[in-house]
Structure 1
Amino acid sequence: MTPTLMSGLDETITLSADTVEHYHEHGWTRVNEVIPREVALLLRERFLSLEPEDKAAELEALDIEKQNYTSDPEYRKQHLIHRENSLTEEFTRATRCRRVGSVVRRLLDVPEVQLFRTSLFEKKPESGGGGVTTLHQDYPYIPVDRSGSLTIWIALGDLPAETGTLQFVSGTHREGSLGRDRTFIKGYDRVTEMERKLDWKVSPAPSLRAGDATIHHDLTVHGAGINASSDTRLGLATLYMDSRCLFTGAPSAVTDGMPLQLNTAFPTTLFPIVPSV
């Protein structure tokens, strides 16, 4: 990454009052060029240049029964997931930069921002076997003792709405945790029940330029339509939290096997503090 691009990541962003208000009222918002466009395009190039064996996608849930998922291949149609440790160092630089940290701190309104996980979500075109990403919340899948974390989903490349960008059910961050989605075992799940009962309205899919982002609360119900384009949709999603959050011990593909202690803060050696000022 060139020095010029890196200096752009060290800048801070001042959010408008309307952007902050939209986030707190609706549970999601949009921020244009949360990272510089040139950086986003570089990240896309870096990912596409990886050797096939270096792009092996992970299942979000490694222990099928414990995570309430099944081996149903329909789940894999939603997206392929590439974790940070399989990506190049430019991704780490972008997700841990002051530019992004300033946005997160303003929306969370906390003293320190801590990074929980980074994933690149690869949604294949419908013609290549891709499908719909079903409605869900993020909070039921993270072993954190309080809700309120957020995810910044950055477009890597120019993404028209038809590529299947994220859509949201405004206000659902006030519903509390609705539990883990179990759609793929054809069983009961609270998200589907609430969707039918309340006749949820889903926000339109936005068109995003490279570097633009949607940002959502960990309790905001969200999903994505099919990718109706001919290109793969790449989105870099990082979940950030208040550094005062504690580890609950709940199963998670991110933390399973890590040397974490119950009811203690997440160690910054594994979950770094992100600069924000």
Structure 2
Amino acid sequence: MNETLASPQTQTYPLSSLDIDSYQQNGHILLREVASPEEVKSYRAAIDEAVAKYNTETRALAERDTYGKAFLQIMNLWEQDEAVRRFVLAKRFAQIAADLMGCANVRIYHDQALFKEPGGGFTPWHQDQYYWPLDTDKTITLWMPLVDITEDMGIIKFASGSHTEGYIDKLGISDASQNFLEEYIQKNNFPISTTSYMQAGDATFHSGWTLHGAPGNNSGTMREVMTIIYFADGAKAIEPDNKNRQADLERWLPGVKPGELAASPLNPLVL
């Protein structure tokens, strides 16, 4: 199986020292054309089909809580579909993740499709690593739209530099996290960074500790985004300190106990 993206372009994505420095300083970076529009088009159909097949959310938007209104969330599609597997395990993406974090090898934590429906609500401020029972700060998420998106569709936003504060959010994605972290961001004068447009195949990468969120989708078009979470090879599982980390340990690190290497069959080494 070829685990790189087939493309007439080079299989690698060149990062400059300025790119890496920017990521290290801000905790996030926007990179253009990480995948070409043609590549994204070739994988989008498989991802959309998998999302439609495995989505279990049937409630109307008005019947959901804030988390439920924020997006349709379908995880680990690489387990279910061969085409999505090639996308998620692409070495080009993994190489970018490793270079930005400054590590030699990375494993997959999990992927997730985040589809924000027309009329879908905002995504509250949060830290991803609140959910992850890992003993390393070298964690990173690729966030890639599968369609061209504009700011009215809910483009991701970041509190630059917030990753340096470590474990801030003990609340999870909720109205409570939004209120607490909005005040925290203002109090600490973290600049808010976003963009007004992303082409299909552009991608942001952000640290597991970087505070981020997204506005609601005020357009009539589904905001189709695919994400992939990576962590440095050699990381160990930690004792969960909240119920979400306990659930993650059981689901994404099956058979791994606290103190053991985070290297279950669901965490393939991709670089």
Structure 1: 4+ residue segments shifted above 6 A = 1-4
Matches of 1:161 and 1:252, distance apart in 2: 35
Matches within 5 A, 1:45-60: 45-50=45-50, 52-57=52-57
Displacement of 1:238: 0.9
1:80–1:253 distance in 2 versus 1, CA, 3 Å: farther
What does residue 94 of structure 2 align with?
A: 101
SS in 2 for 1:139: helix
2:265 counterpart residue number:
269
After superposition, the C-alpha distances for 1:2-34 in whole angstroms (9 at most, x for unaligned) are 999535698122112222121111111011222
Output the CA distance in 2 between the equivalents of 1:187 and 1:200. Answer: 16
Instruction: Please give the alpha-carbon distance, in whole angstroms, between the structure 1 residues aligned to 2:122 and 2:175.
Output: 16
> For 1:35-114, what aligned pairs fall within 5 Å after superposition?
35-50=35-50, 52-57=52-57, 73-85=65-77, 88-114=81-107
**Structure 1 residue 51: deviation in Å?**
8.1
CA separation in 2, counterparts of 1:261 and 1:10? 40
Paired residue for 1:150, among 140, 143, 146? 140
Taking structure 1 as the reference length, what is the TM-score of the superposition? Answer: 0.83
Aligned to 1:238: 228
Go from structure 1 to structure 2 and tell me whether the alpha carbon gap of 1:16 and 1:208 turns closer, same or farther (over 3 Å shift): same
* Partner secondary structure for residue 256 of structure 1: helix
The amino acid across from 1:118 in the alignment is D
Shift of 1:253: 3.9
Counterpart in 1 of 2:238?
Answer: 248
Partner of 2:124: 134
CA contact (8 A) 1:246 1:263 kept: yes
Given the superposition, is the C-alpha separation of residues 243 and 10 from structure 1 closer, same or farther in structure 2, using an over 3 Å criterion? farther
Q: Percent identity?
A: 25
Judge conservation of contact 1:9–1:98 (CA < 8 Å) in 2.
no
Q: Which residue number corresponds to residue 117 of structure 1? A: 110
Quote the Cα distance in structure 2 between the aligned partners of 1:150 and 1:186: 24
- The one-letter amino acid paired with 1:106 is D
- Equivalent residue, structure 2, for 1:259: 255
- Does the 8 Å contact 2:114/2:224 carry over to 1? yes
User: Normalization by structure 2: what TM-score?
Assistant: 0.84
Deviation, 1:217, is: 0.9
Structure 1 CA distance for aligned equivalents of residues 14 and 222 of structure 2: 32
Please give the residue correspondences for 1:152-171 in structure 2 after superposition, counting only pairs within 5 Å.
Answer: 152-171=142-161
Report if the CA contact (8 A) 2:114-2:226 is conserved: yes
State the Cα distance separating 1:249 from its structure 2 match: 3.5
The root-mean-square deviation of aligned C-alpha atoms, in Å, is 2.9
What's 2:168 paired with? 178
Indicate the residue corresponding to 2:202 in structure 1.
212
* Long gaps (5+) in structure 1: 59-70
Q: 1:163 touches 1:228 (CA, 8 Å); kept in 2?
A: yes
**Which whole-Å CA distance do the structure 2 matches of 1:16 and 1:249 have between them?**
37
Residues 9 and 94, structure 1, Cα contact 8 Å, conserved in 2? no
Three-state SS of the structure 2 residue aligned to 1:6 is coil
Give the Cα–Cα distance (whole angstroms) in 1 for the partners of residues 247 and 111 of structure 2.
Answer: 12
User: Any idea what SS the aligned residue of 1:273 has?
Assistant: coil
